[in-house]
Amino acid sequence: MSADVPTQTASVSLDDADPQQSAHMAHDYTKSGRLAPVPDEDAEHEVLLKDYDELDYPDPIEHGHGIQAVLEDLLDEDEDDSESFYTRLFEGWQNLDIEPEEEPVVLAEDVHDQFDWLHDDYPAHLVLSSKGWMVGRDVDDDLAGPNAGAEALISQYYEYNLSVMRYDEDSGKLAADLDGNLRAPVSYQCWVQPQDENLVRPSGDPMVCQHGEGSRFKTQTTYAGSKESLVRTVQITNLAATALGVERPDWSTFNRDSWKVWKGEVHHRFASEMMDAVVQRLREAKSMLEYGGRGDVDGDSTMREGMFVEEMVRSDRWNVLGFNAFAQREGIELGLKVYRINGSPRDDRLSEPKLEAFFAGTDHDTELPHADEWAALRATLRQMASTVAVRSGLNLGLLREDDYYEPRDRERIDTLVPTGWRAAVQEANETRLRRILNTVYGQSGTQSKWDLLYAVATMNGTRYEELAEITGFTEDYVQEMVGEFVEDDVLLRLSMPTLVVFNNEELRLNALDELEAIHPDEDLKDIRERGEQRREDRQQARENRTSDADATDNTDASTGDSSSAEDDDDGRDDAANWETFADVHLTGEQLGAALDRDHIDGDHVEIRTDPYPAIFTGG
């Protein structure tokens, strides 16, 4: 279906409606675009970086952006035109009379010719698709509950997706029907959802409509802010309504309080040879956040073919590193990410990596930021992205262009870059070094943890199976030891494939110095020799157990002992796995501590007492 109908201008006020709200924004975001420094009195013991350098740096470009908004267009049933736009969209979709496998269906062709925010070089259609949503008219009482899914719903409602989708000019096929990665620099999609308190969730609870009943729009687009995203939503939904032959949304019912930001990104693109430097800065940031005190910190690393593909750190306490405004707000989660795309893009410029600062959402008790606050939120993201760029040594000559990001033409912004980064990293690493030394010196004469840490530090990234081969430990025990050091923020596990590395490069080098000072005459060769001895000892212990078991069987047979296996095992669970002390890779001190702390049940430890009457007087 196509529609060659000119778009109609809709009047929606996007200006600040509340002077008090504007005053609140001015507190966070000054007219110059710079943010006020974090106050010293705010959790001073947690803030690691409190001084600033003011540096002139290119403004990062906005990329992915998401808003949500509600039209209160569900009127009383006895009033004329009581149908919401959601209901009209549903009726228009029904009239298409299509099967699910036929989706997405084209509503309007060549929309790149109709909207100036779409690029002429990337031909695209407006398409419609549908998917079951999380509400219905009723629930099945036998299935409903807190953990129930859509199967509990009766008369499930759908959400409808309006997307701008590329198509192949030669075949006319949509990107969804092609195997290739057919995308455009500017993307757009909007999910239209019902807002009706007569509907229920799978739990059986009624739907809560915080901003009134009617139609909810959840939009995601690129190279736009909150105002541009809403304007695009007005244009796209109006065009879709015309194409379906239904009445357009009544934008006079727009609830301005519902206009929230759920996604926001800014980025710098830079030269590939600086990828490792940026990755190290993000690891250092994670290291300082973990050291700085309470709150949530999350991170992830991905490598392919020995190259970093992505590094991400996300937290709700970036104020620890001296970042301002939204970084100081409770319940706001922000993140930093560096990544490069896979494969060989048609545009070589897109193969260069991006450093991105992003809004990652809020906790359950905190509302999403209002769209009017996007300028302040963007300023915080800009400070974060530009600070890491500066700390990574990304001067103007190392920034790279793409479709929309042209660093030499970007406005230069006076950015407050927190100072003392290196000293704070050292402070955090010193704490980790103390953990390492306490662990290694507390091994009661064994060298298991020293061997593992030295191997990781020397090889600067190794897999579990390599560590098991070098140290002679089982792979399960290697994973257990690595897990302990990950919990202590000493080691990291990178994905695809799983590699074990130190938390950051400076910590690795410092740890290597300390480990060499403990055993100055040893290296990987000595660890491999100990590893071979451990394997031999383990094999010998197995053979001894087998020999002892055979001897016991022969003795029982010669004496005519007919006791059952249950009697031989003293009631032991046949499915249980019992190991000798020599095979469990614990020192006596560690076993004692585990028993004292109830980490190991005393009934699960057996000791032969008769050879040691002086120790076990009651044996």
Tell me which residue range forms the domain holding 394.
46-65+264-419
Residue 470 in domain:
yes
State the pLDDT confidence band at 577, using cuts at 50, 70 and 90.
low
Question: Which tens digit of pLDDT belongs to each residue from 230-267?
Answer: 999 999 999 999 999 999 999 999 999 999 999 999 99
In this structure, the answer to whether residues 93 and 137 fall within a common structural domain is: yes
**Tokens standing for residue 213:** 């009943």
DSSP-based three-state secondary structure for 347 = coil
Residue 9 in domain:
no
Q: With a cut of 70, say whether residue 324 has pLDDT above it.
A: yes
Give me the residues paired with residue 191 across strands.
161, 218
In this structure, the answer to whether residues 90 and 189 fall within a common structural domain is: yes
Of all residues in the chain, the percent with pLDDT exceeding 90 is 50
Give me the residues paired with residue 265 across strands.
358
Question: In this structure, are residues 139 and 150 in contact, taking their beta carbons and an 8 Å threshold?
Answer: no
Q: With a cut of 70, say whether residue 584 has pLDDT above it.
A: no
Domain boundary among 249, 283, 309: 249
In this structure, the answer to whether residues 207 and 334 fall within a common structural domain is: no
Mean pLDDT for the stretch of residues 534-563: 69
Question: Which tens digit of pLDDT belongs to each residue from 119-131?
Answer: 988 999 999 999 9
Of the two residues 310 and 459, the one the predictor is more confident about is 459
Domain boundary among 249, 272, 287: 249
pLDDT at 50: 78
State the pLDDT confidence band at 292, using cuts at 50, 70 and 90.
low
Question: Which tens digit of pLDDT belongs to each residue from 159-206?
Answer: 999 999 999 988 888 998 876 667 888 999 999 999 999 999 999 999
Q: With a cut of 80, say whether residue 227 has pLDDT above it.
A: yes
pLDDT at 28: 39
Q: How many structural domains are present in the chain?
A: 4
Give CA–CA dist 298/354, Å, rounded: 20
**Tokens standing for residue 391:** 């700390």
Residue 17 in domain:
no
pLDDT at 21: 39
In this structure, the answer to whether residues 380 and 459 fall within a common structural domain is: no
The residues, ordered by sequence, that sit 6+ positions from 383 with a Cβ below 8 Å of its Cβ are: 35, 323, 324, 415, 416, 417
**Tokens standing for residue 158:** 């759908």
Q: With a cut of 90, say whether residue 451 has pLDDT above it.
A: yes
In this structure, the answer to whether residues 205 and 240 fall within a common structural domain is: yes
3-state helix/strand/coil string of 583-602: HCCCCHHHHHHHHHCCCCCH
CA distances from 569 to 472, 501, 559, 605 (A): 31, 44, 18, 14
Residues for the chain: how many in total? 619
User: If we measure between CA atoms, which residue out of 580, 62, 63, 35 comes closest to residue 319?
Assistant: 35
User: If we measure between CA atoms, which residue out of 387, 373, 441 comes closest to residue 416?
Assistant: 387
Domain of residue 536, CATH code: 1.10.10.10
Q: What is the DSSP letter of 49?
A: -
In this structure, the answer to whether residues 101 and 166 fall within a common structural domain is: yes
State the pLDDT confidence band at 553, using cuts at 50, 70 and 90.
low
Amino acid at 22: S
Of the two residues 76 and 167, the one the predictor is more confident about is 167
In this structure, the answer to whether residues 171 and 289 fall within a common structural domain is: no
In this structure, the answer to whether residues 415 and 446 fall within a common structural domain is: no
In this structure, the answer to whether residues 329 and 448 fall within a common structural domain is: no
State the pLDDT confidence band at 519, using cuts at 50, 70 and 90.
confident
- Count of CB atoms within 10 A of residue 30's CB? 13
Q: With a cut of 50, say whether residue 453 has pLDDT above it.
A: yes
Give CA–CA dist 335/357, Å, rounded: 6
Q: With a cut of 50, say whether residue 272 has pLDDT above it.
A: yes
Residue 545 in domain:
yes
- Average pLDDT over the chain reads 82
In this structure, the answer to whether residues 572 and 597 fall within a common structural domain is: no
Q: What angle do CA 321, 327, 332 make, to 5 degrees?
A: 130
In this structure, the answer to whether residues 94 and 198 fall within a common structural domain is: yes
